[in-house]
Structure 1
Amino acid sequence: MNIATTQPKVKTGTPPMLIAARIARILVGIVFIFSGLIKLNDPVGTQIKFEEYFEVFAQDVPFLHDFFMGLVPFTLVMSVLFCAAEVILGVALLASYKPKVTVWLLFFLIIFFTFLTFYSAYFNRVTDCGCFGDAIKLKPWTSFGKDVVLTVLILFIMGHRNRLRSRNTGWLVALTIVFTLGLGMYAVQFLPPIDMLPYAVGKSIPDQMKPSEPLRYKYLMEKNGDVTEFDKYPTDPSYKFKEMVLVNEKAKPKITDYRVWNDESDFTQQTFEGEKLFIIIKNTKDIDAGSLPAIRALVEGLKGSAVSPFILTSTSDDEIKAFRKEFQLENVPYYKADATVLKTIMRSNPGTWLLKNGVVRGKWHYNSTPDAAEVKQLVIE
């Protein structure tokens, strides 16, 4: 008599949930590295966003006004550390370096970012969160949605963190720390290695002040409680206008707020004529005074050339006149521009910006002020 014996089935392969956790880990790691690197390329831009948030919080939460305003002087350091943390934690997650600790740190970081984007979207404050710097502009609710998705993915990874093996990849994380902090400090001490702003070298300012193609709109009209969409404004007077929506939004001008003036006239169009070197003085309070002798030498070296130097500032007349006298720049005419525009044009204070017929030919941090020969060469090339 044969006795049949049954063997227990052995499960083979990787459980589907573990595969999903690995995919989530890869996606989260890539997004954090990408986001962090873009912002580390321009940490001053993230600093400006932090300042905006703290100023808004100081207004909206009056009893914590002094606390939030007290954080403003530290926003540049915070910017570098937060941006570096995104890259470091993203690399640590992909490299499976101490995954339990890494996932918890990512969770706290994404909760912080989710709060900021929700505040922006719900209260319509700081409408550009700067999540991906100036490379990718996201609307507030889109930014918030992106952070919610990341939060869900991180929570999913946390639920499977005990299955993630810790690997001996501390050397890679250490190299990432050195690289990210070095990149951040370089961008602060000089200018972003990759300038993604509309005022970058090679960009034409007047061209970017125009739409790239004719703007097209659709018209939402209401009649008897029903809303109808029209490509052209209807001639039927029974329709009531409700809303006009831009169809080709990407065709909008990249620059909409560039304007230069003084007490006598608007100087905007004149900035696009010939060769002009602008000395950007955003304010006179936290300016790097040690860099001004080099700028003064540059101005002196341009005498008799085709390049006309000007000061571009957002400070008051009394302040800029006192500044020009103190640093022997009284022979350099000054014009006004919006403070936000100046922050976008130049990430340092002071800085120099060279235009030729409206096209940016040069842009320098105060730590790398050019000499007159370099400027003259750029305008004849």
Structure 2
Amino acid sequence: MKILIHIARIIVGALFIFSGFVKLVDPIGSQYKFEEYFSEGVLNLEFLIPYALPFAIFLIVAEIVLGVALLVGWKAKFTVNSLKIIILLFLFLTWYSAYYNKVTDCGCFGDAIKLKPWETFYKDVLLTVLIFLIGAKIKWIKPIFSKNNNGIIVLLSLVISCGITYYSLAHLPIIDFRAYAIGKNIPEGMEYKDDGEIPPIHDFFLEDAQNDLAPQILKMDKVILVIMSSLEKSEYAAFPEIKKMADNAIAKGYKVYGVSASFTDIIQLTKKKFKLPFEILFCDETTLKTMIRANPGVMILKKGTIVEKKNWTDIDDIEL
């Protein structure tokens, strides 16, 4: 029985660390997922939407820290009880998603691993059983190292997690699991395979007032997309820097386009106010948020292949 408890301890600790890490490198993605859960059509808790990012960060960091704490045996009772609370929350969310078919991807493993709703629910059922099994035999969870060393390891996991979160928010995710990662070819990502699955990129379009310009843009050799998913929420301090970058890029032979999901009047006001030297096309907001975790952000394409992505805060690092 002791061996079973220790195996469960390793499985639960490792899964929580892995689950936390793949979301830690992209906290904005988890923010979007909780905004979806809090929306009117799902849990109808819209008053929580402004708090989606801090809520997501807290849960992500808690997953990693508690996973580490379980593995090293730090404050076993507190750790296991905290894991029980988190797994019961996840269990409810995944059951709700699967039963009512509300959120087709819970985001439990970020964009790294996609599970179907019922697969995710059964995974959480298994984790729930293991955690409560560990809790029933909590006396067997002993510290691996000395008391102080265990505390230091847990503290380090907290500090490192917070550091990675800050970096990912200030710049871009340190690991990009999405179909729009650097090196990915967008046209290839739009192709249907023989397996019948929907391709990873299935909602990419760049529309002007009349046509979808995506097919011709994806054939161009030197293209820069300035992605502004929602101009109402954009950081306006970015636009003077973006104008300078765009002027420089155009002088070097690049074709520059803005892309936004905002209404035409807001687009025209922004373009006029900051004297932006490029046409602004329309694309779905969800697609733009998936393309880059920055508002605004910059993506450079070469014949449909993504060769560079930058948050506007790192625009000076772009080499044209």
Please, what TM-score do these two structures have when normalized by structure 2?
0.95
Worse-superposed segment, 146-155 or 260-269 = 260-269
Among 19, 22, 26, the residue aligned to 2:10: 26
Show the counterpart of 1:198.
179
1:146-225 aligned at under 5 Å gives the runs 146-166=123-143, 168=147, 169-211=150-192, 213=193, 215=194
Asked if 1:48 is matched to 2:21, the reply is no
- Cα distance in 2, alignment partners of residues 128 and 158 from structure 1: 29
- Equivalent pair of 2:250/2:256 in contact (CA under 8 Å): no
1:206-285 aligned at under 5 Å gives the runs 206-211=187-192, 213=193, 215=194, 248=195, 252-274=198-220, 275-285=222-232
- Cα distance in 2, alignment partners of residues 114 and 139 from structure 1: 14
CA 1:304/1:347 → structure 2, altered by over 3 Å: closer, same or farther? same
Asked if 1:361 is matched to 2:276, the reply is no
- Equivalent pair of 1:205/1:358 in contact (CA under 8 Å): yes
- Cα distance in 1, alignment partners of residues 22 and 41 from structure 2: 30
The residue type equivalent to 1:349 in the other structure is: N
Partner of 2:204, secondary structure, is coil
The residue type equivalent to 1:24 in the other structure is: A
Show the counterpart of 1:111.
88
- Equivalent pair of 1:203/1:360 in contact (CA under 8 Å): yes
Show the counterpart of 2:107.
130
Structure 1 moving runs of 4+ over 6 Å: none
Task: Determine which structure has more spread, i.e. the larger CA radius of gyration.
Answer: 1
- Equivalent pair of 1:364/1:370 in contact (CA under 8 Å): no
- Equivalent pair of 1:28/1:90 in contact (CA under 8 Å): yes
Partner of 2:115, secondary structure, is coil
Q: What are the superposed Cα offsets for residues 157-186 of structure 1, whole Å, 9 maximum, x if unpaired?
A: 000002322451100000000000111111
Asked if 1:336 is matched to 2:282, the reply is yes
Unaligned stretches of 5+ residues in structure 1: 1-16, 216-247, 376-381
- Cα distance in 2, alignment partners of residues 196 and 163 from structure 1: 38
- Cα distance in 1, alignment partners of residues 245 and 115 from structure 2: 40
Q: Cα RMSD (Å) of the superposition? A: 1.4
Show the counterpart of 2:72.
95
Among 270, 275, 279, the residue aligned to 1:323: 270
Partner of 2:232, secondary structure, is coil
- Equivalent pair of 1:298/1:371 in contact (CA under 8 Å): no
Show the counterpart of 2:19.
35
Q: Percent identity between the aligned chains? A: 39
- Cα distance in 1, alignment partners of residues 254 and 316 from structure 2: 14
1:47-66 aligned at under 5 Å gives the runs 47-55=31-39, 58-59=40-41, 65=44
- Cα distance in 2, alignment partners of residues 335 and 196 from structure 1: 26
Q: Between the two structures, name the one with larger relative contact order (CA 8 Å, sep ≥ 6).
A: 2
Q: What's the CA shift for 1:283?
A: 1.0
- Cα distance in 2, alignment partners of residues 60 and 54 from structure 1: 6
Partner of 1:310, secondary structure, is strand
Q: What's the CA shift for 1:133?
A: 0.5
Among 224, 228, 240, the residue aligned to 1:293: 240
Show the counterpart of 1:309.
256
Partner of 2:233, secondary structure, is coil
Please, what TM-score do these two structures have when normalized by structure 1?
0.80
- Cα distance in 1, alignment partners of residues 259 and 73 from structure 2: 50
Q: What's the CA shift for 1:131?
A: 0.6
The residue type equivalent to 2:94 in the other structure is: T
Q: What's the CA shift for 1:201?
A: 0.9
- Equivalent pair of 1:92/1:98 in contact (CA under 8 Å): yes
Q: What's the CA shift for 1:306?
A: 2.0
Partner of 2:300, secondary structure, is strand
- Cα distance in 2, alignment partners of residues 60 and 210 from structure 1: 31
- Equivalent pair of 2:36/2:42 in contact (CA under 8 Å): no
The residue type equivalent to 2:305 in the other structure is: V
